[in-house]
Amino acid sequence: MAKFKFIKISKNKKIRYLLNPSSSEIYVVFLHGFKSDIEGDKPKTLYKFCKKNKIGFLALEYSGHGKSYGKFEDGTITSWTQDAKMIINKKIRKKKLILVGSSMGGWIGLNLFKYFNEKIVAFVGIAPAPEFLDRLIWKKFSDKVKRQLVKEKFYIFNHSGFEYNISYNLIKDGRKNKFFNKKFNNKIFLTILHGKKDDIVPISISKKIIKTFKDAKKKLIIIKKGDHSLSNKTNLKRLTKEIGYIYNKLINL
């Protein structure tokens, strides 16, 4: 059974994380999605897979998510990226990293290249969503909603049965975390899994990410019956298979 732990940032601030310590040089780091946590099927499956195969594993909950400190509405892409950076530095600073980013976690993971560039040996995206705040949310809001957000600083909307309280500060901060204006020459393993029936993040986003990494060993896997989450048993098995393949390639280089 996975044991969740907390790391103190200050007296009243703590981040929840999940760790499988290992002597292996390489750790899998899972970065969850928007308003998600580390109690879902993906982090639990990856934890079990890594434990079984004696691979180091780390997952964390950003501030305002799950049982980590703070309010969701106070968070930004920048602050959530800093949370991930801090946990990695404190727990697995000297390790090489296979980043696994789900949806917004993909954006967080891509942001981490500026801090751990040489340590990142692979990136696995699960319908990764860099720049989604502008591209997939702000652009779809009506002028009336945009004016409300600017004036009142918050807007609550429903999507796919979930309620989200979006702050204008979050939108503005997202614009400071551009990804598609960059080019990467990292010779890493780059694998993206994307469901063909994903109604939240279009496959075109994953294709653009693939093009951004010029020298990577690239693979885009489009799952015909897959949704945005890709959390059923078949898709989770495909995810662990890809991570296992990448890990074995890396340790045999």
Q: How far apart are CA 178 and CA 164, in angstroms?
A: 22
pLDDT per position as a tens digit, 116-128: 999 999 999 999 9
Q: What is the pLDDT of residue 9?
A: 84
- Rounded to an integer, what distance in angstroms lies between the CA atom of residue 102 and that of residue 99? 10
* Rg from Cα positions in the chain: 17
CB atoms within 10 A of CB 73: 15
SS3 185: coil
Look-up: residue for tokens 């469901």? 195
Closest to 36 in 3D by CA, of 131, 122, 164: 164
> Packing angle between helix 104-111 and helix 77-91, nearest 10 degrees?
60
78 contact partners, CB below 8 Å, separation of at least 6: 173, 176, 177
**What is the tens place of the pLDDT at every residue in 140-157?**
999 999 999 999 999 988
Provide the 10 A C-beta neighbour count for residue 140.
10
Q: Give 20-51 pLDDT, tens digit per residue.
A: 999 999 999 999 999 999 999 999 999 999 99
Say whether domain 4-132+181-251 belongs to CATH 3.40.50.450: no
